[in-house]
Structure 1
Amino acid sequence: MRLIQFIEHNCLRVAEVENEKSVRVVNIEGGTYALARAAIAEGVPLEQAVQSRRSEDRIDYQRLVDERRLLPPLTHPDPAHCLVTGTGLTHLGSADTRSAMHAKTQVSEEELTDSMRMFKLGVEGGKPRQGHTGAQPEWFYKGDGQCVVAPEQVIASPSFAQDAGEEPELAGLYIIDDDGHPCRVGYALGNEFSDHVTERFNYLWLAHSKLRACSFGPEILVGELPAHLEGVSRIVRQGSTLWEKPFVTGEANMAHSLSNLEYHHFKYPGFRRPGDVHVHFFGTATLSFADSIEAREGDRFEIGIPAFGRALRNTLALETQTPAINVRPL
């Protein structure tokens, strides 16, 4: 089952994707957040909550896109209560990259870079046996709900950024129930969107490279995630494909299990605040930046995996000014 969220008469609505042309409206106001809260209150799986609320109303999917009514598939009524985070060094990459990484991990511990040491920890301990705790992944904070850009909308890179690069990833979408337990709503395609030039200069600037916009959606995949997923990430410039590359994700292509990544995020009490929404990016191994591509104003990022339906698309805008930051003493 796949769900989208859209706006209708100033109200958030949710719909089930029937096919690439049609979506079926779910009878609930307040969007996916309200639907998930209802499922939690009723003690039923999300799919059952959808089935019991299916209407006969169908909407043309493309019309929602053309009328710019498509929203991120999960939002919180108060953006400050949507936390956007992620993990890095989680994917094994292609066979060649994996082999190269493995070779590099055979040197002495003193010769390993911090990044390679972190990667090695994941390879050796990122998929623990059930009931055991695995290795901690690299973790970062990206922002709150204000940094989330809807699918098909412009994604802006700040004027102080040195790079505006896509990151094709999966994102886990969660709601914390009234008892402080994380509940996974589903998974979505994501463009984690980072400043790789800043990160490359010094990995201690990783946090700076992440504090900017992102996008995910347009659809939520509800239920189990396939272990192996293949997709394509591309950049379109003036109607022509500038760069395109396949990518793989899912646990079969990762050093960490999803449950291990979830554990090391939600183990902190501050991330189990009742009612909050969490968007957690799971990492990638495929970047146009690695192929020396520099995105420009007007380029369109497209990230697609067939199992997730419609591709995630956003057009790049480069901000030219930064508002003056004046700290006023009180």
Structure 2
Amino acid sequence: MSLPRLPLLFEATYRGDRYVGFDRPEPGARQTLYRVADGQLAAAFISTDGSDSALRASVTRTTETITVTVGDPELRPLPPLLPTATGHALLSGFMGTHKKKWGGRSAPEGGEFTPPKWFFKGFGDWVRLPGETLNVPARPVALIEEPEVALVYVNDAHGTPHYAGYTFGNDLCDIGLHREDPGYNPYCKLCDTSLTPWLFLGAPPRTVTGRVTIVRDDSTAWEGGFECGADALYHRVQDMVEHLFSFPAVRRPGLVNYVLLGADEASFHDGFRIADGDRIAIDVKSHGVAFENRVRYVSPTPLAAPDAAVPTP
């Protein structure tokens, strides 16, 4: 079945410079990229209506172009709109948002909004890309993969958030630790998260479906389907993000926010346990996006000994 063409873009570095590309050609194909400055594309989302045509006009009018082969090892994709400066992007998300966790119900129309629980995952430069390793603490209780939609916002000079588009990710976390004690959830989330570099333009998707395959020792150890579009959620997306952006801390001028919308039930709920070295492959079939990351358990580095006390003269 052919998929509808959805407008998208991506940024990448090539030989030290930053470029933007439109569409996703087949591996080995040639693609024209447009040179942009750090933050130029984010600024275009603030100064235009964010449409495909407006963004193309904004960044392709007077700029240097290059033509590269897709898959060139010197072409290195970036998370969507990621600023170069550390600490200028945040990754966070919502918990317990899916209808499956609410008996299949949706939030009542016109009722008082009760916001879902929220978590802070890390800075934007902590994000891993497809093919990169997802590091977790050496002794997790029980890991869970979480295929999710991630909304991308950029704040203008006044701190007003501007919606840019959406991408997909795997919010790997230690659900076992969370279940031991929900108060441990901040620790539970200290596992790497991957995002795809493709920024899909347009409203948050209503329907997203796909399949997860977990490979161990070159054999499929577990697989199952998932849904994570707006129609699968108990809460309305607009209500969730409006509540989040009511907090000044996430409205700082120039800040980029990656906001995860929550995940369907996954391998953990089927009794499977992710092991060190497993490869998690997520195929977002509704959008033609597939990505994979290997899980690595990382032992802690011993703390450095404190400096010896300096004797008082």
Give TM-score scaled by structure 1 length. 0.80
Q: Match of 2:167?
A: 188
Offset at residue 327 of structure 1 (A)? 7.3
2:42 maps to which residue? 36
Instruction: Answer whether contact 1:36 1:46 (CA < 8 A) is retained.
Output: no
Distance 2:124 2:26 in 1: 27
CA contact (8 A) 2:31 2:69 kept: no
Quote the residue 1:264 is aligned against. Answer: 243
Who is 1:112 aligned against? none
Change (3 A) 1:8 1:142: same
Matching of residues 28-107 of structure 1 within 5 Å: 28-30=35-37, 33-41=39-47, 43-52=48-57, 53-54=59-60, 57-61=66-70, 63-64=71-72, 69-93=76-100, 101=103
CA distance in 2: counterparts of 1:295 and 1:254, whole angstroms? 25
What is the CA distance between 1:159 and its match in structure 2? Answer: 2.4
Q: Is residue 200 from structure 1 mapped to residue 144 from structure 2 by the alignment?
A: no
Equivalent residue, structure 1, for 2:124: 145
Shift of 1:307: 4.3
**Alpha-carbon deviation of 1:271?**
0.9
Q: Is the 8 A contact 1:221 1:308 kept in 2?
A: no
Give CA deviations for 1:78-111 in whole Å, capped at 9, x if unaligned.
2312111110110113xxx76xx36xxxxxxxxx
Would the aligned equivalents of 2:208 and 2:287 in 1 still touch at CA under 8 Å? no
Match of 1:247 in 2: 226
8 Å Cα contact 1:72-1:151 kept in structure 2 = no
Asked if 1:2 is matched to 2:8, the reply is yes
For residue 325 of structure 1, report the CA deviation from its aligned partner.
6.4
Alpha-carbon spacing, 1:29–1:323, altered in 2? closer, same or farther (3 Å): farther
Kindly provide the CA deviation profile for residues 125-171 of structure 1, in whole angstroms up to 9, marking residues without a partner as x: 5xx55xx9722111111111242112211111122533333111111
Q: What is the alpha-carbon distance in structure 1 between the residues aligned to residue 296 and residue 260 of structure 2?
A: 22
The residue that corresponds to 1:299 in the other structure is 278
1:160 and 1:322 in contact (8 A); partners too: no
Letter of the aligned partner of 1:254 in structure 2? Answer: L
AA of the residue aligned to 1:29: V
Instruction: Supply the distance in 2 between the matched residues of 1:234 and 1:79 (Cα, whole angstroms).
Output: 33
More helix by share: 1
Cα distance, 1:306 vs structure 2:
3.1
Q: 2: CA distance between counterparts of 1:284 and 1:26?
A: 33
State the AA in 1 paired with 2:145: E
- Displacement of 1:224 in angstroms is 2.2
Note closer, same or farther for the CA distance 1:247–1:231 as it changes in structure 2 (3 Å cut): same
Deviations 1:222-249 (Å, cap 9, x if unpaired)?
1123312211122122332221111112
Secondary structure of the 1:321 match is coil
Instruction: State the one-letter code of the partner of 2:268.
Output: F
Unaligned runs of 5+ in 2: 1-6
Q: 2:149, 2:262 within 8 Å by CA — same for their partners in 1?
A: yes
Amino acid at match of 1:149: R
Question: For 1:311, what is the secondary structure of its paired residue?
Answer: strand
Q: Is the 8 A contact 1:220 1:308 kept in 2?
A: no
| CA distance in structure 1 between the partners assigned to 2:219 and 2:18 by the alignment | 35
Distance 2:190 2:292 in 1: 20
What root-mean-square deviation, in Å, do the aligned CA atoms of Structure 1 and Structure 2 show? 2.7
Displacement, 1:76?
1.7
Q: 1:157 to 1:60 in 2, by over 3 A?
A: same
Q: CA deviation at 1:200?
A: 1.2
User: 2-side partners of 1:318 and 1:222: how far apart?
Assistant: 35
Distance 1:46 1:133 in 2: 33
3-state DSSP of counterpart to 1:153:
coil
Offset at 1:14?
2.0
Structure-2 residue corresponding to 1:290? 269
* Structure 1: gaps (5+ residues): 103-119
Query: What fraction of aligned residue pairs are identical, expressed as a percent?
Result: 27
1:317 partnered with 2:296: yes
Counterpart residue identity of residue 4, structure 1: F
Which secondary structure state, in structure 1, belongs to the residue aligned with residue 144 of structure 2? coil
Deviations along 1:236-288, whole A, 9 cap, x unmatched?
A: 22332221111112121110111111111111011111101111110012221
Per the TM alignment, residue 212 of structure 1 is displaced from its structure 2 partner at its CA by: 2.8
Distance in 2 between residues matched to 1:192 and 1:29, nearest whole Å:
29
Alpha-carbon separation, structure 1, partners of 2:37 and 2:256: 14
Q: Distance in 1 between matches of 2:99 and 2:127?
A: 27
